[in-house]
Amino acid sequence: MKVIEARGLRKEFVVRVKAGAIRRQKRVVAAVDGVDLAIERGEMVGYLGPNGAGKSTTLKMLTGVLMPSGGDVRVCGFTPVPQRVKLARRIGVVFGQRSQLWWDLPLGDSFDLLRHIYRVPAAEHALRLDRCRDLLDLDAFMQTPVRQLSLGQRMRGELTAALLHGPEILFLDEPTIGLDVVSKQAVRGFLAELGEKGDTTMILTTHDLADIERLCQRIVVIDHGRVVHDGTIQALHDRYRSRRRVIADFDEPIQTDIRLPGVELESSTGTRLIFAVDEVGPLISQLTQIGSLRDLSIAEPEIEDVISRLYLSS
Amino acid sequence: MGESLRIYAKLVGAQGRAQASYRTSFWLDLIGSSIIVGADLIAVLVIFSRVPALGGFSISQTLVFFGIALTAFSIADLVVGNIERMRNYVRMGTLDAMLIRPLGVLPQLLANDVGFRRAGRVVYAGAVYVVALSYADIDWTPGRVVLVVSAPLFGAVFFAAFFVATATVAIWWVESGELANALTYGGRDLTSYPISIYGGWFRRMFAFGLGFAFVAYYPGLALLGDPDPLGGPAWLGWASPLVGIAASGVAALIWRTGVRHYRSTGS
C-alpha cells in the first residue's frame, strides 16, 4: 500500500529581484518542479540534494505546511493542506533546525502537552514514552527546561515528541545536523531499530551520507527541483560505474602493464599502484606475480563521490 | 468542542508556567502597562479642563464611550493581542511547528502567548467603565442592562477581528508591523471619543467604512438614551453584535487565505 503518492508536484515562489535603484522585477522560481514520488508503507527513503534543491520544500508540501502550486499529492490517503489536521494525527515531523518543544518548560511537560494535543490514551502514551526514555536515555534531563538542553539532548527530545502519537510516517528534516558523533550514533541507532519493525515509513533528508548508508535502502536525489535519481544506493553506484579501488604497495618502484577486463590503472607513483576494478580476484593474483607485494588494501566506493558526481552532472 | 477547549486550556496553562519562569520581567511588564494605560485617561481629563464639551458631549458622557472602548480593547488585547507576534513567526518560519499539529493554527498562536501581563489593563479598564457609568445619568432598563455588558464584549470581538486581519498581512508583507499597530491603536483612540468630533472622509472611512462607530459610540448613545448628533436612527446602538460578527467573518477569510499563502523559510 502506498502511503505517499505525488505526481507532478510543484512549488513556485515569486521573488523580487533588484533591477535598478528602486525598481524590482518579479520573477517566478520553481523550488520544486514536477516531482513524482511513490512510497510504500514501511519504506525508509533518503531524500537527498544539494542546498536549495527543494528538499525541505517538498517535505513541507507533504506535511501540509505549504500549499503546492501544482500537481497531485496524497499522504496517508489525505490531501495535505485541506486535510491538514487529520493528516497531522497520522504523521510525525522532526525539523532539525526548528524546535517543536516548549522552550521554557521542562522536557517532560512538552511530552505531556503533546499527549493532550494528539489525544493519545494515557496508557499508550506511557508505553511509547517509556521506550523512548530507555532507548534515547532521556531520564537525566526530563526535568530540564528545553532552552537549557544541549543540541544532542534536544534532538533526542524532538524525536520522542514526534513519535508519541504513534505516527505512520515519520518525516525527518536533517535530524543529525550539528550533532556530535556520539549523538549522531544514538539517533541513527534509534531510527534503525524503529525502521526494522517495519510499520513506520520514514522519509529522511540529510547532508550526512552516513545517515543514509546506515538507514535507507532507497534514495531519491533531487536537484533544481527535479528528481534525478530514484532507487537503491547500489543502482546509483551502477549507474555511475563507481568501482572499488585496489591500492597495492611494493617493496621497490614498479612499472606494470597489467591488462585485465574491468581493471583500470588509475595512478602509478613509485612503489604504489592504484587500480579501479570491477572484480578484485583476478587482479590480486596478477599483482603477487609482478613484484614483491608489501601491502594491499581495497577501498569500497564512497557514496560521497557518487553523489557529488550526480550533483555536478545534473 | 469541549475536548478542544480543554487542550487549549492546557496550552494556555503551559504558557503561564513558561512566563512565570521569568518572574521579574512579568511584574515589570504588568506595572509598565498599567502606567501607560493611565495616560489615556489623563488625556481625556486634560481636554475637558479646557473645553466644556466635545462633539456635543459632556465629560461624563464621553467617559462612557471611553470606558466601553477601553474595556473592549483591553479584552481583545489580552486574548488576541499577541497575534502581533505573527510577523516574527512568519519571519522565523516557526509557524511550521504549529502547522504540523492537529489543531487550528490561530488558537495555537493565541494560546502560545497569552498576555497575562496585560490582565491588569482589563481590570483597570473595567474600573474606569464602572465609574463612568455611575457618573453618567443612565435610565436603567432591562435592555440597557444587557447592553452595558454586551457592548464591551462585542466591541472586543470587533477589535479582535481587526487585530487578526491586520496581523495576517504579515504573511504577504513581513514588515507590516507598524501599519498594523497604527491601525489597531489608532482604532482604539478613535473609538475612545465621540465620533461626532471627526469630520468628512475620515469619519466616513474609519467610523462607518471600517465599522469603528459601532464599538463604543452607538452602544454608548443607546445606554445614555441620547440622540445621534449625526442623525443616525436609534437602532444603530443595538447593531454592534452584527458588526462584530461581520468583522470576524472578514477576518477569518483573510486569515484562511493568508495561511494558504504562507511561504515558510528556507530549510
pLDDT at residue B37 is higher than 80: no
Rounded to whole angstroms, the Cα distance separating A84 from A149 reads 30
Listed by number, the residues of chain A in 188-247 with a beta carbon closer than 8 Å to a beta carbon of chain B are none
Task: Test B3 with A109 for CB contact under 8 angstroms.
Answer: no
Listed by number, the residues of chain B in 77-106 with a beta carbon closer than 8 Å to a beta carbon of chain A are 93-97, 99-104
The DSSP H or E segment spanning B86 is helix B86-92
Task: Test A66 with B263 for CB contact under 8 angstroms.
Answer: yes
Average pLDDT of chain B, as a whole number: 86
- For B116, the grid coordinates are 497575562
Task: Test B261 with A67 for CB contact under 8 angstroms.
Answer: yes
Listed by number, the residues of chain B in 19-38 with a beta carbon closer than 8 Å to a beta carbon of chain A are 19, 21-22
Task: Test A85 with B102 for CB contact under 8 angstroms.
Answer: yes
Task: Test A98 with B17 for CB contact under 8 angstroms.
Answer: no
Q: For B144-172, how does the pLDDT look when each residue is reduced to its tens digit (9 = 90+)?
A: 999 999 999 999 999 999 999 988 887 77
Domain residue limits at B150: 2-260
**What is the structure's pLDDT at A177?**
84
The DSSP H or E segment spanning A32 is strand A24-40
How many independent structural domains does chain B possess? 1
Residue in chain B closest to A83 (alpha carbons) equals B102
**Does residue B229 lie in a domain region?**
yes
Closest of A228, A267, A234, A224 to residue A248, by C-alpha:
A267
**What is the structure's pLDDT at A160?**
94
Is the CB of residue B256 less than 8 Å away from at least one CB of chain A? Answer: no
Q: For B184-234, how does the pLDDT look when each residue is reduced to its tens digit (9 = 90+)?
A: 888 888 888 898 888 888 888 888 888 899 999 999 999 998 888 888 888
Delimit the domains of chain A by residue range: 2-238, 244-313
Chain B residues with beta carbon closer than 8 angstroms to that of A89: 102
Question: Looking at CA atoms only, how far is residue B137 from chain A in angstroms?
Answer: 50
* CB pairs < 8 Å spanning A and B: 78
| Amino acid letter, B157 | V
Q: For B125-148, how does the pLDDT look when each residue is reduced to its tens digit (9 = 90+)?
A: 999 999 999 998 889 999 999 999
* E runs forming strands in chain B: none
Is the CB of residue A18 less than 8 Å away from at least one CB of chain B? Answer: no
Q: B176: pLDDT confidence band, cut at 50, 70 and 90?
A: low
Q: Find out whether B166 and B179 touch, Cβ atoms under 8 Å.
A: yes
Rounded to whole angstroms, the Cα distance separating A126 from A120 reads 10
Q: From its phi and psi, is residue A119 left (phi > 0), alpha (psi between -120 and 50) or beta? A: left
**What is the structure's pLDDT at B170?**
79
Task: Test A100 with B100 for CB contact under 8 angstroms.
Answer: yes
Among A84, A103, A117, the residue with its CB nearest the CB of B99 is A84
The fold adopted by the segment(s) A2-238 is Rossmann fold (3.40.50)
**Does residue B265 lie in a domain region?**
no
**What average pLDDT does range B65-80 have in this prediction?**
92
User: pTM score, two decimals?
Assistant: 0.81
**What is the structure's pLDDT at A149?**
93
Chain B residues with beta carbon closer than 8 angstroms to that of A100: 97, 100
Task: Test A97 with B6 for CB contact under 8 angstroms.
Answer: no
pLDDT at residue B66 is higher than 90: yes
Q: For B6-20, how does the pLDDT look when each residue is reduced to its tens digit (9 = 90+)?
A: 888 888 888 888 877
Q: Find out whether B162 and B90 touch, Cβ atoms under 8 Å.
A: no
**Does residue B90 lie in a domain region?**
yes
Rounded to whole angstroms, the Cα distance separating A171 from A92 reads 6
Regions of chain A where pLDDT drops below 70: 314
**Does residue B187 lie in a domain region?**
yes
**Does residue B267 lie in a domain region?**
no
Among A13, A93, A113, the residue with its CB nearest the CB of B10 is A113
Is the CB of residue A91 less than 8 Å away from at least one CB of chain B? Answer: yes
**What is the structure's pLDDT at A78?**
95
**What is the structure's pLDDT at B73?**
94
Task: Test A117 with B7 for CB contact under 8 angstroms.
Answer: yes
Task: Test B22 with A56 for CB contact under 8 angstroms.
Answer: no
